[in-house]
Amino acid sequence: MGRRERKKAATREALAAAARELFLERGFDQVTVAEIAAAADTAVSTLFVHFPGGKEALVLGDRSEREQSLTAAIRERPTNVSILQALHDFLATRGPFDPDPARQDTRLADLVVATPALRAYARSLWVSCETALAQVIADETNADEFSIRQLARYVLEIPDLAGTEPDPPAALATAFARLQRAWPDL
């Protein structure tokens, strides 16, 4: 990574760190982008260059990371692991499903669940991965297109639905058990 890329990465991390600290201290809705930029010693315009999704993206990132990780979970799974198991295992390490999160990660997951704007943004990030997820499943199977799109959509709704249950990991397991009954070959 060259000097310019390192500086961009450092600015991006400074903005995200400042946002996390302010959001956890005061709450998402009580913090402005101007305050975040000031805390990171950058301009508001710089914040939007790095995070065009605004405040929500400072907590949750953007679709590209999520999409790449999600599709890699299928493409890079061991040969004896089913697609559904790979998807379950991937989701089980994220947000409210993580069995051993760092304290700050737990607080951020709680913030997302408790903040309507963050929860809606998180859901939009997941469902925006539908086409990519369906394509990678299609590449790995011979299931019909509608069935694949249906499965992709169901999987991508799980974080929003199961993540707000009293026991998110148990809800995740229940959701995937049901998907396994519907798609036993995946």
* 167-179 pLDDT, tens digit each: 999 999 999 999 9
Structural tokens at position 124:
């939009």
Q: What are phi and psi of 164, to 5 degrees?
A: -105, 0
Structural tokens at position 6:
């390192």
Give the percent of the chain with pLDDT over 70: 99
Residue with structure tokens 């914040």? 47
Q: What's the rounded Cα separation, in Å, for the pair 31 and 112?
A: 15
Structural tokens at position 129:
């991965």
Q: What's the rounded Cα separation, in Å, for the pair 84 and 124?
A: 21
Residue with structure tokens 């929860």? 119
Residue with structure tokens 């519907």? 182
- Give the pLDDT score at 43: 94
Q: What's the rounded Cα separation, in Å, for the pair 95 and 9?
A: 23
Other CB atoms within a 10 A radius of the CB of residue 65 amount to: 11
- Give the pLDDT score at 87: 97
> What confidence tier does 107 reach under pLDDT thresholds 50, 70, 90?
confident
Please state the rounded mean pLDDT for residues 89-93: 94
> What confidence tier does 1 reach under pLDDT thresholds 50, 70, 90?
confident
Q: Cα dist. 113→22, 73, 110, 128, 135 in Å? A: 17, 24, 5, 19, 29
Please state the rounded mean pLDDT for residues 120-135: 93
Please state the rounded mean pLDDT for residues 63-73: 91
Structural tokens at position 57:
């993206």
Q: What is the largest CA-CA distance in the chain?
A: 53
